Structure 1
Amino acid sequence: MPDISRKGLQMPASPIRKLVPFAEDAKKKGTHVIHLNIGQPDIKTPKIALDAVRNHNIDVLAYSMTEGSEEYRKKIAAYYSDNKINVTSNDIIVTTGGSEALSFVMGSIMDADDEIIIPEPFYANYNGFATASGVKVVPIVSNIKNNFSLPPIASFEKLITDKTKAILICNPGNPTGYLYSKDEIQQLAALVKKHDLFLVADEVYREFTYDDREHYSILQEEGLEENAIIVDSVSKRYSMCGARIGCLVSKNQEVIQTALKFAQARLSPPTFAQIASEAALETPKEYFDDVIKEYVERRNVLVSELQKIQGVKVAVPQGAFYCVVELPVSNSDNFAQWLLEKFEIDGNTVMVAPAAGFYATKGLGNNQIRIAYVLEKDQLVKAVHILGEALKVYNEG
């Protein structure tokens, strides 16, 4: 039998999706599964975006421009301007989701065996993108004890080698919900300029910040124009995960022109999804006011209920819609699978995302899970009750 590639064998399974077969088996047995494992918002997609697709007058569904339609990119630039980020349409490449944007970034700024420093825990697919590109992730641990704040800059500097090409952050963070302060961004900016590195920021949750905190983008930082690259997406912002539209943004034109060659290889982003995404930019501010209010209420309910469970620790999110929870178990992968296979209350069980897959350092996160609070508050209360009762039974066994 022909061999599978080493890269293929090393490709990590998604901690968010790998338990899906067990969830499907539970559903076939009649168990209702409450999904806390995936960041699929239940907030309705703006009607204006859906109507734009319904009311189109396209006769031939043709390729779009490789970099995305000029009209859409101009509107994205205007959106950024409203968020105090000064870019033009020429600084933007429309991609098939934020995932493709990050893949283009990896391909454009890094060669095989180059290194990228990432505070962990981090979005699990960063490991996958790095593996696919032959890039080495150099993790730096942030800790639940201080709510996953930025590790000391001196710790970053110790990890920099002649192979280091970039530092990657997610702001606000997935899976932690941590929101980097302006001061923390400025510390990172000074570091990458000192060592002539790129600073890549996944900012797909920009709108979702809580407790009167404001998001500070790396592209708001003066003097960082040649070093800064943003990865963005409409998936969470407008509850349009299925559209698969994102973008890569940088004022460094060498980065943009290089990424464009990778974009040309996949031809173009999807046309209908661009139409919906362009229309979504007209969504009124009240939409986000209501969504943020709802997520704050969900966060507060979730954290309050989790804190009632003996032995559980939870980091309080300042943005996005995730939190990392430390459980009184030694292996959250086994616990999560057991939940789906062997535990239910009144026909209900819970699916969570084991957190080890959000780390690059082996052994870390084994007693943690990520919860996405994208469900209505009563469902979150029910889910946490099931989780608490399950822990009692699991640990007694």
Structure 2
Amino acid sequence: MPNVSHRSQTVPLSPFRKLIPLADRAKRAGKHIYHLNIGQPDIKTHPQAVAKFRQLPWQILDYSPSNGIDSYREALCGYYRRFDVSLTADEIMVTTGGSEAILFFMLACLDPGDEIIIPEPFYANYNGYAHIADVRVVPITCKIEDGFSIPSAEAFARKITPRTKAIVITTPNNPTGACYSRDELDRLSAIVRKHDLFFCADEVYREFSYDHPLQSILQLPDLEKHAIVIDSVSKRYSATGARVGSLVSRNLEVRESVDRFAKLRLSPPGLGQRLSEIMLEDDGSYLQGVKEDYHQRRDTVYQRLSRMPGVYSYKPGGAFYCFARFPIHDSEDFCRWLLEDFEYEGATVMLSPGPGFYATPGLGYDECRIAYVLNSEDLERAMDCLEEALKVYPGVDAEAMASGKLQA
């Protein structure tokens, strides 16, 4: 029998999907699962836009251009002007979700064996895409005690080698919820200019910065040849199934390289682009309401974690994630146990174990990511489950529990 590829057998598993078979089994047994493991919001997709989208006349669902429908890219230029970012439609490449934009960036800008520096913990699928592209992830560790802020310029300089081609960040951050300040972005900007690197920022949570104005790398000066932005409508409009993202760059050579891969896959989703264009037409009140909802959800989760003995947390500044430290030794086992062996009032909670968000071995085993994508009432019930679970989990660290609550 022919053997499958070594690549397919060694690609890292998604930490937010690997436990789904256990969750499905628990559901079949009648247990209710509060899904805090994945960024799938329960907020309705822009209702007015959906209603208008249903009335669109079409008879043939044809290919769109490989770089996206012209009118949609023009509409995106108007969207970016809200952030004082001036773009032309040609500087926007529409992709099949933000995921394809990440993969296109790695394939177009890096060769096998090249290195990218990423502050960890980071969006876990970067590991998988880097594996597919044969790119080496070089992590630079951020600390929960500092709210996962960006380390010093000296720390980045120590990681740079002749194979370094890019620095990659997510802001607001997944999984930590950290929002990087203008000073932090300026610090990274100086590094990429000094060492002639690409600066790739995943900004798919741009709308959800709660305490400070969002800073985009497209607002920074002198980065025309360096800056690459990953974007998506998935979280902004609660439209994860539209599968519409984009790669934005003012660097013509980058765009031409990306377009070679875009042409090979023919076109991004046509219906998703049409819906996305309509959502951009009148989204002000919708986005404001969604942001206020997530703000309240963040406060709910933070306040509940703050009262749990032995749990170390912080108040995330954006996105809809919190990365917390628990009084446990093995978050993989804890998340499995929650699904297989625990329930409280007929329910349990599903989290994402921490190690999958790190590239450094041994980190994250006392941490989990919480996605506060459920309404506040369900979040309260989920936090009830989590609090009760920590009282009876066999692998709990009794010393950490006894230390009380520790908050950043």
TM-score (norm 1): 0.98
Shift of 1:396: 7.1
Aligned to 2:406: none
Shift of 1:115: 0.2
- Paired with 1:146 and 1:4, the residues of 2 have a C-alpha distance of 44
What's 2:326 paired with?
327
* Native 8 Å contact 1:165 1:198 kept in 2: yes
Matched, 1:373 2:372: yes
Quick check: 218-227 or 5-14, which moved more? Answer: 5-14
Q: Displacement of 1:137 after TM fit?
A: 0.2
8 Å CA contact 1:52–1:275 kept in 2: the answer is: no
Matches within 5 A, 1:1-397: 1-211=1-211, 213-395=212-394
The alpha-carbon deviation at position 289 of structure 1 amounts to: 1.7
Residue identity matched to 1:186: D
Residue 371 of structure 1 aligns to a residue whose secondary structure is strand
Asked whether the equivalents of residues 176 and 315 of structure 1 are also in contact (C-alpha less than 8 Å), the reply is no
Alpha-carbon distance in structure 2 between the residues aligned to 1:314 and 1:3: 45
- SS in structure 1 at match of 2:7: helix
> Which amino acid counterpart does residue 126 of structure 2 have in structure 1?
Y
Write the letter of the residue equivalent to 2:163.
K
Moved over 3 A (4+): none
Separation of aligned partners in 2, 1:9 and 1:316: 38
RMSD: 1.0
Q: Deviations over 1:190-215 (max 9, x none)?
A: 1000000000000000010112x011
Q: Are the counterparts in 1 of residues 329 and 395 from structure 2 also a CA contact under 8 Å?
A: no
Aligned counterparts of 1:328 and 1:206: Cα–Cα separation in 2: 32
292-301 vs 172-181, greater mean Cα deviation: 292-301
State the number of aligned residues. 396
- The CA distance in 2 between the partners of 1:384 and 1:376, in whole Å, is 12
1:332 touches 1:366 (CA, 8 Å); kept in 2? yes
Helix, strand or coil at the partner of 1:281: helix
Say which is worse superposed, 286-295 or 353-362, in terms of deviation. 286-295
CA distance in 2, matches of 1:104, 1:183: 29
Q: Could you give the per-residue CA deviations for residues 58-79 of structure 1, whole angstroms, max 9, x where no partner exists?
A: 1111101010011110111111
- The Cα shift of 1:259 comes to 0.1
What is the rounded CA distance, in whole Å, between the counterparts of 1:369 and 1:122 in structure 2? Answer: 13
Deviations, residues 323-351 of structure 1 (Å, cap 9, x unaligned): 00111111011010111001001111110
Percent of aligned positions with the same letter in both sequences? 50
Query: How far apart are the structure 1 equivalents of 2:51 and 2:162?
Result: 51
Aligned-residue offset at 1:53: 3.0
Deviations 1:346-393 (CA, angstroms, capped at 9, x unpaired)? 111110010110001111001110000111112111111111111111
AA aligned to 1:294 is: D
Q: CA deviation at 1:296?
A: 1.2
Instruction: For 1:116, give the aligned amino acid.
Output: I
Q: Which moved more, 1:384-393 or 1:256-265?
A: 384-393
1:204 & 1:85 partners in 2: Cα distance? 16
CA distance in 2, matches of 1:52, 1:118: 40
| Aligned-partner residue type, residue 161 of structure 1 | T
Q: Residue by residue, what CA displacement relative to the aligned partner does 1:217-245 show, whole Å, maximum 9, x if unpaired? A: 11111111100000000000011000000
Task: After superposition, give the CA deviation of every residue in 1:148-201 in whole Å (9 maximum; x if it has no partner).
Answer: 000111101111011000000000000000000011101100100000000000
Which amino acid in 2 is paired with 1:192? V
Q: Does the 8 Å CA contact 1:177/1:321 hold for their aligned counterparts?
A: yes
Unaligned runs of 5+ in 1: none
